[in-house]
């Protein structure tokens, strides 16, 4: 029998215990022996919980118990979670986590520590919730050079944008409703400002390049400036608006960014709605493949952590491979990236706009909005667009949105 411990009995941690205990027989078949959760570490007690007897408050109990071979870190944050992860790996106990903050900040260090102590550091649940995208990059697409990754990686913002699109509602109204229903955090900043997505694309970009992509250097823009009117223009263009995470190879360098984009109905990501996530991966041999599923929520995320536990249990005494070195990947500036842009200006400045933006400009006049006009530019570099956009600051009627080809 293999014994595991769970650190943090919140939404994901309790889900992990539920998955391992309820799917005991299928996990036994897949591991080849029984797998149990021996301890649940939390500061709180859980009277009446079916697993209350497993709850402990002292991490050293786990460290001193040689029977515990696998630790699930579902605490979150980079404080105690980081310290406990290092201690466990240094003692040869594998760690499986959903903690994208910790993985994005210290991934290579923790992978090296695991390798030095013949155990594993696995983080399937840190990106895309229940979608097995990390395993796909590490174990399935290993004969391809990955050229690009494009993802909808945050369930909360995709839920908000989908609802704004469907109901013509404002960002503020949908966010409030999402908070009431528990789909968005009381402090929604990490989701709506794009920080969560940024960390996830940093992890995927690191696996794509095999080097460390520093999340602090990734251009990140959230969805707080997107309005119901923007969706009306999107509809007129046959497009949708999604918070995308992009990672592309540009020569020997990498372009990584997070921002809202207008995407056409031809994009496979167009129909990804609600809390669902999807990751589009382009390999140089395979071409495009897409991975879709629930990107957030207790059981989908817990299922991914538990699958990592099963993997560790099947490879006791080994280190599961992950190609992610500590050396920093070179990121390209967005300045020279060329794309089309959408922007809105007040009525009465058509001539000025046409003169500035020249060829390839497309005008969109919504019947219900005679006080303003929308425009889609021809293909131009970010820095060229930014320079022109600055010149029309006095007549803007909304914020610009990039267009993903």
Instruction: Give, in degrees to the nearest 5, the angle at Cα 153 between 152 and 156.
Output: 100
Which residues are the active-site residues? 200
Closer residue to ligand HSE in complex, CB, 146/161: 161
Closer residue to ligand HSE in complex, CB, 73/372: 73
The CB-of-91 to ligand HSE minimum distance in angstroms stands at 28
Question: For the window 184-223, what string marks contact with ligand HSE as x by the rule CB under 6 A?
Answer: -------x----x---------------------------
Closer residue to ligand HSE in complex, CB, 194/295: 295
List the structure tokens of 88: 């466990």
Residue 344: strand pairing partners: 374
SS3 375: strand
Among 8, 129, 260, 300, binds ligand HSE (CB under 6 A): 129
The CB-of-156 to ligand HSE minimum distance in angstroms stands at 3
Q: CB of 376 within 8 A of CB of 345?
A: no
Residue 101 contacts ligand HSE per CB under 6 A? no
Q: Report the alpha-carbon distance of residue 118 to residue 137 in Å, rounded.
A: 22
Among all chains, which residue has been given the structure tokens 């990734």? 218
Instruction: Show contacts with ligand HSE in window 275-304 (CB under 6 A).
Output: 295-296
Question: For the window 132-171, what string marks contact with ligand HSE as x by the rule CB under 6 A?
Answer: ----------------------xxx---------------
Total of residues contacting ligand HSE (CB under 6 A)? 8
The CB-of-195 to ligand HSE minimum distance in angstroms stands at 10
The CB-of-196 to ligand HSE minimum distance in angstroms stands at 5
The residue of the chain with the least Cβ separation from ligand HSE equals: 156
Q: Report the alpha-carbon distance of residue 210 to residue 208 in Å, rounded.
A: 6
Where would I find the H helices in 239-332?
298-314
Q: How many CA atoms lie within 13 A of 380 on its CB side?
A: 19
Q: CB of 292 within 8 A of CB of 214?
A: no
Closer residue to ligand HSE in complex, CB, 186/355: 186
Q: Report the alpha-carbon distance of residue 3 to residue 143 in Å, rounded.
A: 35
Other CB atoms closer than 10 Å to residue 177's CB: what's the count?
Answer: 16
- For residue 299, which phi and psi values (nearest 5 degrees)? -75, -40
The CB-of-62 to ligand HSE minimum distance in angstroms stands at 25
The CB-of-155 to ligand HSE minimum distance in angstroms stands at 4
- For residue 149, which phi and psi values (nearest 5 degrees)? -130, 130
- Residue 64 burial by Cβ neighbours in a 10 Å radius (0-12, 13-18, 19+): exposed
Closer residue to ligand HSE in complex, CB, 89/296: 296
Closer residue to ligand HSE in complex, CB, 2/103: 103
- Binding residues for ligand HSE (CB under 6 A): 129, 154-156, 191, 196, 295-296
């Amino acid at each position: 029998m293999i014994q595991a411990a769970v650190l943090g009995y919140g939404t994901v941690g309790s889900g992990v215990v539920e998955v391992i205990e309820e799917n005991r027989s299928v996990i036994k078949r897949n591991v080849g022996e029984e797998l149990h959760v021996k301890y649940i570490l939390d500061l709180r007690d859980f009277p009446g919980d079916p697993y209350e007897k497993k709850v402990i408050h002292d991490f050293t109990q786990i460290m001193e118990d040689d029977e515990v071979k696998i630790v699930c870190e579902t605490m979150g944050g980079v404080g105690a979670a980081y310290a406990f992860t290092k201690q466990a790996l240094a003692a040869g106990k594998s760690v499986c986590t959903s903690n994208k903050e910790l993985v994005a900040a210290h991934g290579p260090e923790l992978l090296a520590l695991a390798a030095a102590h013949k155990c594993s550091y696995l983080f399937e649940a840190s990106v895309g919730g229940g979608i097995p995208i990390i395993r796909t990059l590490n174990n399935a697409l290993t004969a391809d050079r990955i050229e690009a990754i494009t993802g909808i990686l945050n369930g909360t913002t995709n839920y908000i944008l989908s609802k704004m699109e469907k109901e013509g509602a404002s960002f503020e109204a949908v966010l409030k409703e999402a908070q009431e229903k528990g789909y968005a955090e009381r402090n929604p900043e990490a989701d709506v400002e794009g920080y969560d997505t940024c960390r996830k694309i940093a992890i995927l970009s690191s696996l794509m390049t095999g080097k460390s992509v520093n999340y602090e250097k990734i251009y990140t823009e959230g969805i707080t400036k997107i309005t119901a009117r923007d969706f009306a223009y999107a509809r007129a263009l046959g497009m949708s608006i999604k918070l995308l995470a992009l990672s592309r190879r540009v020569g020997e360098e990498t372009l990584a960014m997070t921002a809202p984009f207008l995407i056409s109905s031809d994009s496979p990501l167009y129909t990804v709605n609600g809390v669902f996530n999807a990751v589009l991966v382009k390999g140089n041999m395979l071409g495009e493949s897409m991975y879709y599923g629930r990107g957030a929520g207790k059981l989908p995320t817990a299922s991914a952590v538990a699958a990592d536990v099963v993997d560790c249990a099947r490879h006791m005494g080994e280190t599961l491979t992950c190609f992610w070195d500590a050396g920093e990947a070179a990121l390209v500036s967005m300045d020279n990236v060329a794309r089309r842009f959408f922007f809105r200006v007040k009525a009465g400045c058509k001539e000025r706009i046409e003169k500035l933006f020249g060829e390839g400009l497309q005008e969109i006049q919504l019947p219900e909005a005679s006080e303003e006009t929308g425009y889609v530019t021809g293909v131009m570099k970010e820095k060229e667009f930014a320079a022109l956009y600055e010149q029309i600051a006095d007549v803007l009627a909304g914020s610009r949105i990039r267009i993903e080809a």
